[in-house]
Amino acid sequence: MTTLTTLSEAALTGASDAAGEPTWLRDRRLAAYKRTLDLAWPDSRVDEFWRSTPFAQRIDVERDIVTTGGSDSPASFTADLDLEVATARIVDGALVEVTVPSALVAQGVVVTDLSTAAAEHADLVEPALGSLTSSDTEGTGAGADRTITVNDAAWTAGVFIHVPAEVEVDAPIVMQIHAATGGAHLPRVLAVLGHHARASLYLEHTSEPDTDALVDEVVEVTAHDAAILDVVSFQRWGDHVDHLALQKVQAHRDSQVRHLSVTVGGRTVRLLPETDLVGPGAETRPLGLYFADDGQWFDLQPYVRHLAPRATSNVLFKGALQGRSRTVFRGNVFVHKDAVGTDTDENNRSLILTEGARADATPFLEIECSDIVAGHGSATGQIDALQLYYLTSRGITRDEALRLIVTGFFREVFADVDLPGVEDAAMSEIDARVAAADLASFQINDASLKDHHDE
């Protein structure tokens, strides 16, 4: 069996040929493999972008790469919606099922296996695949990272999505990524939205409760001129899954991008939702909510690069923590010297529910251009005693009031999100965690009481 550290040219060539991939793709995998040989695994003591997750302690790369496939996976939350959704289902390292409603097929929408697409839609796949993981753009990006390059070389389950120009897809395109077997999972998604296209891509990540796995994922999306794109990524892993993900969007002129991550499961989740704003007037709205429980470590690194004039970005991440959990928000916004008229804002809010949890926030702003509007901020706090008093003074029990306050804290993230099923699915995850929490141990901040009495 091959692990992430024992990859070989022979193994990669064999797998590529077996999947019927064209030569250009096999060569690209081999080139990526050669790059991995020059790279060490991240060292959290020295690598700036890995300081926030102790790689050696939490990530085990000596695992067999899982390619077996499987049949069972949990139902998508979109199953309850009365919608004709396109679905791609990845189970245990293989794409096992693709369903595309005929109405979408008729409009030219493609959802298919990435290896197959590399041959059949080479004109679309060849220029796009790997263009966002290996490109050298300005700004302090992470640079070459073996955890990403290894996916470039060895991804096993790939999905390709194409929404042609001017085609608007109302229902979400759902990718279910499920890990049942322990080991290393290497999913890959490539999506291209033509100009004036519109689509929502949902990524649902699940595992069995006892699956011990590393999921190393790369998602690349290109939103061409004036496209409207939503990416929603749910992390609902069991307690023994480590998830490293780069989910990167290239936003062209006047495109509108929103990325929403909901992180509640997983032992370690290191999520990089990135947007390169390459066309004038493009917009991105990276949103995140997370609820970390005992033993969980979430490292959230939204990164926006303003590389063109008059683009807009607005980052908002909100998280709650309890038990011995740790969250890191490392937001970064880079504004290129040519990106005049940039408008950017970046915020992180954390709610510490119990003693022992720790939330770190470092919102960075790196500006080469003076003609911009920029803001950033972060705050970490506890449940407010005055809010709690107000609710209980109306007869609501303390426990119920705490639930209202915690769920209310997250609602802001959905202020202008109207994606079918997403808010309900996310809030039911939060509700379930609050319902299971030891509410008696919640810390209450009574500072607000002090300013209160005036006579």
Residues that bind another protein (CB under 8 A): 385-387, 389-398, 400-401, 404-405, 407-412, 446, 449-450, 452-455
Nearest residue (CB) to another protein, 131 versus 314 = 314
Nearest residue (CB) to another protein, 11 versus 404 = 404
For the record, the structure tokens of 407 come out as: 């769920």
Say if residue 244 is exposed, middle or buried (CB neighbours under 10 Å; 0-12, 13-18, 19+): buried
Nearest residue (CB) to another protein, 32 versus 437 = 437
Nearest residue (CB) to another protein, 201 versus 413 = 413
CB of 25 to another protein, least distance (A): 47
Nearest residue (CB) to another protein, 2 versus 392 = 392
CB of 220 to another protein, least distance (A): 34
CB of 452 to another protein, least distance (A): 6
Nearest residue (CB) to another protein, 310 versus 318 = 318
d(CA 55, CA 344): 31
For the record, the structure tokens of 288 come out as: 């995140």
DSSP 168: B
Buried b (16+ CB within 10 A) or exposed e, 265-289: bbbbbbbbbbbbbbbbbbbbbbbbb
For residues 402 and 388, is the Cβ–Cβ distance under 8 A?
yes
Q: Which long-range contacts (CB under 8 A, 24 or more apart) does 122-128 make?
A: 122/22, 122/24, 124/160, 124/162, 124/192, 125/25, 125/160, 125/190, 126/24, 126/25, 128/190, 128/192, 128/220, 128/222
The radius of gyration of the chain from alpha carbons, rounded to an integer in Å, stands at 22
CB of 405 to another protein, least distance (A): 7
CB of 326 to another protein, least distance (A): 24
CB of 444 to another protein, least distance (A): 9
What does residue 347 show for φ and ψ, rounded to 5 degrees?
Answer: -140, 145
Nearest residue (CB) to another protein, 168 versus 400 = 400
Paired sense of beta strands 303-306 and 268-277, if any: parallel
Nearest residue (CB) to another protein, 107 versus 445 = 445
126: left (phi over 0), alpha (psi -120 to 50) or beta: alpha
Nearest residue (CB) to another protein, 340 versus 404 = 404
Say if residue 179 is exposed, middle or buried (CB neighbours under 10 Å; 0-12, 13-18, 19+): buried
CB of 172 to another protein, least distance (A): 24
CB of 396 to another protein, least distance (A): 5
61: left (phi over 0), alpha (psi -120 to 50) or beta: alpha
CB of 320 to another protein, least distance (A): 12
